[in-house]
Amino acid sequence: MTHHGNSVVTISAKNGSCKTGLQFAKNVLLLAHGLIGLGLKRGGVVAISALNSDLYLEWMLAVAYVGGVVAPLNYRWSLEEAILAMNQVRPVMLVIDSSSNYWHSGFRVELIPSLLWKVLMDTNGDQDCSFCDMLTTESLRTVSSKFASFSPCWAQEDGEGVVLICFTSGTTGRPKGVMINHIALIVQSLAKLEIVGYREDDIYLHTAPLCHIGGISSAMAMLMVGGCHVFIPKFDAISAIDAITHYQVTSMITVPTMMADIVYTFKRKKIGNGLESMKKVLNGGGSLTLQSIEETINIFPKARLISAYGMTEACSSLTFKTLYDPKDEKSIGNQKSTSIFQSGGVCVGKPAPHIELRIEVENSSHVGRILTRGPHVMIGYWGNFQLDATNPINEGWLDTGDIGQIDGDGDLWLVGRNKGRIKSGGENIYPEEVENVLLQHPGVAAVVVVGVPDTRLTEMVVACVHIKDDWRWVEFSSTSPRNQNSEYLSANILQQFCKEMNMTGFKIPRRFVPWKSPFPVTSTGKIKREQVRTDVSSNLNESLSKL
């Protein structure tokens, strides 16, 4: 493949099409002209539901350029969820692609009174009649030829106006529309350029959906540096590995579930050598286990592996930590160290330069609520401008909803989510803290810890465990797991393991559930903990091992 020089190049792995930076920029400007000609006003909300593509990125930039507000919708939602989201933000335009089997295939314009236009993003020549009365990207670009010049409206906002409404992934409750301005996206991009080290010669694979802040912020960073973009419509491990191999991809972002799928597929396909073109892997959406770190290093031996902790309300990443650097013998991956894990939490690194962090403690402990302040913080939730984060009384501090502490080196240790906190016997227990210990057992593949109602304790700690393929779950008791075959697991074995790892007694799970089906997750890979809790609670009167 020829080098892309000083311009952005976009490549669609689906059809092999290639677009230079000049072509990409011209398409954005032509589309922006068309939107102005059509009558899109400053502040008009444009909802987009589509799979990843260069056209998606062009639409986001064109809407922002003319002063509109982009509202990416999750294509995996149900029709009801999509209607709820659109009724919140009241878009004047809905842009969809021709992909089938998603909610927009059954959508009707009259369901959203605010809609003035419906646009088909792509045209592949075989659309059914339901698309016939729609505008298209190409038709808008044709209209744009009538407008020779115009001034972009966003410049009048001085960067502080809303440019993006990004919906939270909704692990509990209804997703909220997070309002993000131009400045937040710019400083987040600069942070990623500085810390992750994106460069002009990078070839970036879009693994994360462009409807989520992680995918958006990394795409903006790569646009800012002028790198090459490779698109697969949506993530699956086979397509990702094929694209990495074919296009010699150098950087990508993942969440733990994505990396687990890549590791599994890599092993199943029995690919002999590692994927040595990869130089940077940024993992967010949850911490990787030590085994996952080791497996990732084996697959991407020349890549820096960096973890990021963040949230939609903070425009993506707050802190970064290098887990492995092939050029640094002291990095965690080289040392096979457990230094990022402690019984009290997981080390998620230091904040980016523009970010302030503070711990709001409730007692003499160093552990408390994690607060953040800076230009990255959202304006607020759509429809609710009177937000605590922007209230002068709180001096602009945003409560992340997470619990943690900052050590003497300035590293943030994440203990857990305040909402997921378990109250057992009068003590506070954070499920992530228990999960981090159990994940260090060689027989545990995945685990979700929840609190279920209990008449004596208020809540009882229950661990739902996926065991590894070559291990078996047994119901017999064992006070001395060392006498048991190492390929067997039981509740007693895991309880004893927790004790050996110096876990405080009241935090050790009272019950263990050998979980057979995949854990329910959001589209960003976050566990739907409340759903797991409900499933466990409703089955407590049955045999837990049958779940």
- Domain assignment of residue 539, yes or no: yes
- Domain assignment of residue 253, yes or no: no
Please name which of 247, 254, 257, 262 lies closest in space to residue 298, comparing C-alpha atoms. Answer: 262
Tell me the percentage of the chain whose pLDDT exceeds 70.
84
Give how many domains the chain has, as a whole number.
2
In this predicted model, what pLDDT tens digit does every residue of 444-497 receive, in sequence order? Answer: 999 999 999 887 888 899 999 999 988 999 976 554 444 444 588 999 999 999
- Domain assignment of residue 75, yes or no: yes
pLDDT at 170: 53
DSSP string covering 267-301, please? HHTT--S--TT--EEEE-SSPPPHHHHHHHHHHST
Q: SS3 for 85?
A: helix
Residue scoring higher pLDDT (256 or 210): 210
Lowest mean pLDDT among 308-317, 404-413, 532-541: 532-541
DSSP string covering 101-128, please? SSGGGG--GGGSTT--EEEE----S---
- At residue 259, what is the residue type? M
pLDDT at 343: 59
Strand ranges (DSSP E) for 474-536?
Answer: 488-489, 511-514
Rounded to whole angstroms, how far apart are CA atoms 535 and 517? Answer: 12
Tokens of 472: 């078996």
Residue scoring higher pLDDT (144 or 184): 184
pLDDT at 11: 78
Mean pLDDT across 166-172: 69
Rounded to whole angstroms, how far apart are CA atoms 395 and 447? Answer: 38
pLDDT at 3: 45
- At residue 224, what is the residue type? M
Look at residues 109, 124, 157 and tell me which one is the last residue of a structural domain: 157
Question: Is residue 306 within 8 Å of residue 280, measured between CB atoms?
Answer: yes
The rounded radius of gyration (Å) of the Cα atoms in the chain is 24
pLDDT at 540: 66
* Backbone dihedral region for residue 123 (phi beyond 0: left; psi -120 to 50: alpha; all else: beta): beta
- Domain assignment of residue 235, yes or no: no
In this predicted model, what pLDDT tens digit does every residue of 58-83 receive, in sequence order? Answer: 999 999 999 999 999 998 888 888 89
Domain assignment of residue 545, given as a range: 422-547
CA distances 105 to 40, 129, 139, 368, Å, are: 24, 11, 21, 46
Confidence bin at 124 (pLDDT 50/70/90): low
Residue scoring higher pLDDT (272 or 139): 139
- Domain assignment of residue 12, yes or no: no
Taking each helix axis from N to C end, the angle separating 21-38 and 54-65, rounded to the nearest 10 degrees, works out to: 50
Rounded to whole angstroms, how far apart are CA atoms 58 and 503? Answer: 51
Question: Is residue 57 within 8 Å of residue 10, measured between CB atoms?
Answer: yes
Q: Is 449 exposed, middle or buried (0-12, 13-18, 19+ CB in 10 A)?
A: buried
Mean pLDDT across 159-183: 82
Rounded to whole angstroms, how far apart are CA atoms 523 and 179? Answer: 20
CA distances 501 to 46, 122, 343, 449, 474, Å, are: 52, 54, 8, 17, 22
Mean pLDDT across 94-98: 93
Which CATH number characterizes residue 42's domain?
3.40.50.980
Rounded to whole angstroms, how far apart are CA atoms 525 and 285? Answer: 7
- Domain assignment of residue 426, yes or no: yes
Asked whether the whole model's pTM tops 0.85, one would answer no
- Is the sign of the CA dihedral 82, 49, 253, 523 positive or negative? positive
pLDDT at 368: 92
Mean pLDDT across 186-200: 95
Tell me the percentage of the chain whose pLDDT exceeds 90.
59
45 has pLDDT over 70 = yes
pLDDT at 394: 64
Look at residues 114, 140, 157 and tell me which one is the last residue of a structural domain: 157
Q: Is 139 exposed, middle or buried (0-12, 13-18, 19+ CB in 10 A)?
A: middle
Which CATH number characterizes residue 436's domain?
3.30.300.30
- At residue 237, what is the residue type? A
pLDDT at 177: 94
Look at residues 125, 157, 189 and tell me which one is the last residue of a structural domain: 157
- Domain assignment of residue 14, yes or no: no
pLDDT at 100: 67
In this predicted model, what pLDDT tens digit does every residue of 231-288 receive, in sequence order? Answer: 999 999 999 999 999 999 999 999 888 998 999 899 887 766 779 999 999 999 878 8
300 has pLDDT over 50 = yes
Rounded to whole angstroms, how far apart are CA atoms 86 and 384? Answer: 16
pLDDT at 104: 75
In this predicted model, what pLDDT tens digit does every residue of 309-356 receive, in sequence order? Answer: 999 999 999 999 999 999 987 666 555 555 677 656 889 999 999 999
Q: SS3 for 454?
A: strand
546 has pLDDT over 50 = no
Length of the chain: 547
pLDDT at 1: 39
Give the containing element (helix H, strand E) for 460: strand 458-467
Question: Is residue 177 within 8 Å of residue 165, measured between CB atoms?
Answer: yes
- At residue 257, what is the residue type? T
- Domain assignment of residue 483, yes or no: yes
Tokens of 529: 């903990």
In this predicted model, what pLDDT tens digit does every residue of 5-28 receive, in sequence order? Answer: 445 677 777 777 899 999 999 999
